[in-house]
Amino acid sequence: MLYKDLLQETYLAIVANKARSALTILGIVIGIGSVIAMVSIGQGAKQSITDRIEESGANLLTVSPGQQRSFGPISSGQGSAETLTMEDVESIKTITDVEEVSPESSSRYQITASGNNTNASIYGVYPEYEVVKEVTLNSGMFIASSQVSSSAKVAVLGATLSEDLFGEEVDPVGQSVKINGITFKVIGLLSETGSGMNSTDDAALIPLTVLQRYLSGSETLSSISVKVADQDAMDQVQQNITDALLINHDIASEDDADFSVRSSMEMVEMASSISSTLTMLLGSIAAISLIVGGIGIMNMMLTSVTERTREIGLRKAIGAKSSDINKQFLAESIMLTFIGGIVGIIGGWLASYLITKFSGTATSVTYYSVALAFGVSVVIGVVFGYYPARRASRLNPIDALRYE
């Protein structure tokens, strides 16, 4: 049987039952489409998290208080202990290959302006924060060294926070806000960073000295961010920081350390392992609908074989080989899934575009997931078409011709 004839016969068979073919294809479209859309959500989450962390610097080390336990989001106690001090910051500054050190302390406080009232993260920072975290300003300027040393009551607002307090597209620079009842002058507005780890959209930055003196009343730090000059020296610097802080804290063994030092790469790994699990979960839920679509194909093909029993008998009587009949039915199911696959890919792509547009959730359709979905749809055509096709090809022409 020539491919051109096979194609034409397949086309005629599918067109002969337009409604049934369309519904069967729809099953595959939904399956493939949801796999692509779901995986794109997972991939998008992964992408945006790793982008954010990488953006904030691949050569960034973060020192956090609390015991270093296993990786993972649930290691308790981390960040709550009060063990990091400015003394540690000074020790870290002396280590070779350390470029910038940014001590931070944060807490949530009530913030008000022009009658609006909200609860926000307040970060106490040094000017190094701007360089180390690579934040950019939309307007105004960042906190200066002199403002830290003089404990000036100035604040730099995150984009969302500014919107909440002053309204959309209003430049807050020059205005004043009250944090916990204390008046601060707004000197800068940060660019939008989007949701994710280390987002400053919903935060206000003030000099660390001000936070310590007027708000928290505590000298301890909630983290120290260290920018390393040379990425190759990361491991060495990480070790040196650990050693220096162990001496500062008078601790003999690394296992008993009351702080942890992590590189941004480790954070990326952690985050991507979480989002891989998410991708897998979403993908496998969608895969179930793909299997259901495949069963729809099989159901339609079996009905079709039964309906066309006489036709199969006739074709065989006229001289069609069993393999010809087998090919015809297999081609039909592959064609159905092929069409469903293509439409499903377009639909899934469109769905993930709409999800991003209307919900703001980041999505990412990778070529890998498209290729996989397409491959799977053709495999489904073969797998679920195999049994009906074999049944058709094995029909005995005499019985088939007599079938009513």
Partner 1 sequence: MIELKKIYKKYQVGDAESQILKNINLKIEEGEFTAIMGPSGSGKTTMMNILGMLDTPTSGQYIFNGKNISSLSGDELAEIRLKNIGFIFQSFNLLKRSTVMRNVIMPFIYAEKPNGNAEREKKAAMALKKVGLGQEKLWDHLSNQLSGGQMQRVAIARALINNPDVLLADEPTGNLDSKSGYEIMNLFIDLNKQGHTVVMITHSEEIAQLAHRVIQIKDGEIIKDYRN
Footprint on this chain of partner 1 (rule: CB under 8 A): 1-2, 4-5, 9, 12, 16, 310-311, 313-324, 397-398, 401
Give the integer Cα–Cα distance in Å for 143 and 180. Answer: 20
Answer yes or no: are the C-beta atoms of 204 and 177 closer than 8 Å: yes
Q: Which is nearer to partner 1, 262 or 390 (CB)?
A: 390
Nearest distance from C-beta of residue 25 to partner 1, angstroms: 20
Give the integer Cα–Cα distance in Å for 289 and 150. Answer: 63
Q: Which is nearer to partner 1, 275 or 304 (CB)?
A: 304
Nearest distance from C-beta of residue 382 to partner 1, angstroms: 22
Nearest distance from C-beta of residue 300 to partner 1, angstroms: 17
Q: Which is nearer to partner 1, 16 or 354 (CB)?
A: 16
Give the integer Cα–Cα distance in Å for 11 and 64. Answer: 65
Across 293-325, b (16+ Cβ under 10 Å) vs e yields: bbebbbebbeebbeebbebbbebbeeebeeebb
Q: Which is nearer to partner 1, 5 or 171 (CB)?
A: 5
Q: Which is nearer to partner 1, 1 or 274 (CB)?
A: 1
Nearest to 73 by CA among 242, 258, 275: 275
Nearest distance from C-beta of residue 313 to partner 1, angstroms: 8
Q: What is the DSSP-derived secondary structure letter of residue 308?
A: T
Q: Which is nearer to partner 1, 4 or 217 (CB)?
A: 4
Give the integer Cα–Cα distance in Å for 108 and 328. Answer: 69
SS3 state at 177: strand
Nearest distance from C-beta of residue 295 to partner 1, angstroms: 27
Answer yes or no: are the C-beta atoms of 386 and 337 closer than 8 Å: no
Nearest distance from C-beta of residue 339 to partner 1, angstroms: 21
Task: Give Dmax (Cα) for the chain.
Answer: 102
